[in-house]
């Protein structure tokens, strides 16, 4: 079945068009990502801003056209942290459904975490575990622990995200050291109690998905243009993240926009993203993490076509 999946996140709106086989095989045909910043100001106002909504709607217009042109048979749209947190989130969801004919749903944190784990681990042979799947988003960070090919053992959806933490802590360009320390401290405190006692210590390896991790892999390799084949499966060292943070945090925004491997639209939030990623790696005592292009988009495609339950 040819399926079109849209992920409307706090920082970006993404599209996957794929053919999904009866056995759960996924063949990607088209994949797009646009930084739309739907979560702009939500942490402060608890409302989706009109200009942010307009950016998402314009992006969905082009995505709907791409799905129609490619003969998509089924659609799904998943809405996450910003829409969960906003008072006008339900109205936004209705507009997405009615205007674009998408089977859209706002995911709970648990649903988001489990669908991300399904996408990140699908197609992997059952192996040693458990592993943690790390999804750093604009408004939340999902941590999902389980064994590839098996069930989710524990998960947490935390109120730590690159847009949320940037708006709370970063007020100078480039950021002041005290701002980054406060950001790291808040993330560390949240992560310390996010999962049941003993779970982080049981983790043997990590898989990192979404824009922060893929951007780090691209920057380390200085990829211009971005190459998904070289990002997927890349082993990103904690020491490399520490060097990236020192380099990026010393740059003003306009210089960060020109860093090879970093999409210019991700430059405003990438420093917060690397801070959060480092805190996650420290929490799980990981010296490296595998970067994956397979994420909630793939998980949602599998669920939509009956290739997975997303329930873990």
**The pLDDT of residue 172:** 96
What global pTM score does this model have? 0.86
Q: Do domains 2-109 and 125-291 have the same CATH topology?
A: yes
From the candidate CATH numbers 3.30.420.150, 3.40.50.620, 3.20.20.100, 3.30.470.20, the one assigned to the domain spanning 125-291 = 3.30.420.150
**The pLDDT of residue 307:** 64
Structure tokens at 15: 């599209």
**The pLDDT of residue 308:** 59
Structure tokens at 37: 């910043």
Three-state SS for 60-110 is HHHHHHHHHHCCCCEEEEEECHHHHHCCCHHHHHHHHHHHHCCCEEECCHH
How many CB atoms neighbour CB 251 within 10 A?
17
Question: Phi-psi category of 301—alpha, beta or left, where left has phi over 0 and alpha has psi -120 to 50?
Answer: alpha
If we measure between CA atoms, which residue out of 47, 56, 55 comes closest to residue 88?
A: 47
**The pLDDT of residue 240:** 97
Structure tokens at 137: 């988003």
Distance CA 274, CA 240 (A): 10
Q: What are the backbone dihedrals phi and psi of residue 123, each rounded to the nearest 5 degrees, phi first? A: 85, -5
The full set of domain ranges for the chain reads 2-109, 125-291
Mean pLDDT, the chain, whole residue set: 92
- The model's pLDDT over 224-271, given as tens digits with 9 standing for 90+, comes to 999 999 999 999 999 999 999 999 999 999 999 999 999 999 999 999
27 and 33 Cβ atoms separated by less than 8 Å: no
- The model's pLDDT over 32-51, given as tens digits with 9 standing for 90+, comes to 999 999 999 988 899 999 99
Structure tokens at 174: 């480039």
The share of the chain scoring above pLDDT 90, in percent, equals 75
- The model's pLDDT over 162-180, given as tens digits with 9 standing for 90+, comes to 999 999 999 999 999 999 9
- The model's pLDDT over 90-149, given as tens digits with 9 standing for 90+, comes to 999 999 999 999 999 998 878 888 888 999 988 777 766 799 999 998 888 999 999 887
The DSSP letter of residue 7 is E
Instruction: Please tell me the CATH code under which domain 2-109 is placed.
Output: 3.30.420.40
């Amino acid at each position: 079945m040819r399926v079109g999946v849209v992920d409307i996140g706090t920082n970006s709106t993404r599209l996957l068009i794929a053919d999904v086989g009866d056995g759960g095989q996924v063949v990607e045909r088209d994949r797009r990502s646009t930084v739309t910043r739907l979560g702009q100001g939500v942490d402060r106002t608890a409302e989706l801003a009109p200009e942010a909504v307009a950016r998402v709607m314009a992006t969905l217009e082009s995505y709907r056209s791409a799905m129609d042109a490619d003969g998509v048979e089924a659609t799904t749209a998943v809405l996450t942290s910003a829409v969960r947190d906003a008072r006008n989130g339900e109205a936004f969801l209705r507009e997405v459904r009615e205007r674009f004919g998408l089977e859209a749903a706002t995911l709970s944190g648990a649903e988001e975490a489990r669908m991300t784990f399904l996408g990140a681990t699908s197609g992997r042979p059952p192996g040693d575990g458990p592993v943690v799947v790390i999804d750093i988003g604009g408004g939340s960070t999902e941590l999902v622990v389980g064994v590839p090919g098996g069930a989710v053992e524990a998960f947490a959806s935390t109120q730590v995200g690159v847009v949320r933490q940037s708006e709370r802590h970063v007020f100078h360009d480039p950021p002041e050291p005290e701002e980054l320390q406060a950001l790291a401290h808040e993330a560390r405190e949240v992560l310390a109690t996010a999962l049941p006692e003993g779970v982080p210590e049981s983790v043997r390896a990590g898989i990192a998905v979404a824009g922060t991790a893929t951007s780090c892999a691209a920057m380390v390799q200085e990829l211009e243009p971005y190459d998904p084949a070289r990002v997927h499966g890349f082993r990103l060292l904690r020491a490399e993240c520490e060097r990236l943070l020192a380099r990026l945090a010393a740059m003003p925004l306009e210089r960060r926009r020109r860093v090879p491997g970093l999409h210019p639209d991700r430059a405003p939030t990438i420093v917060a993203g690397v801070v959060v990623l480092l805190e996650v790696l420290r929490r799980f005592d990981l010296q490296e993490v595998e970067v994956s292009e397979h994420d909630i988009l793939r998980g949602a495609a599998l669920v939509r076509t009956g290739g997975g339950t997303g329930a873990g």
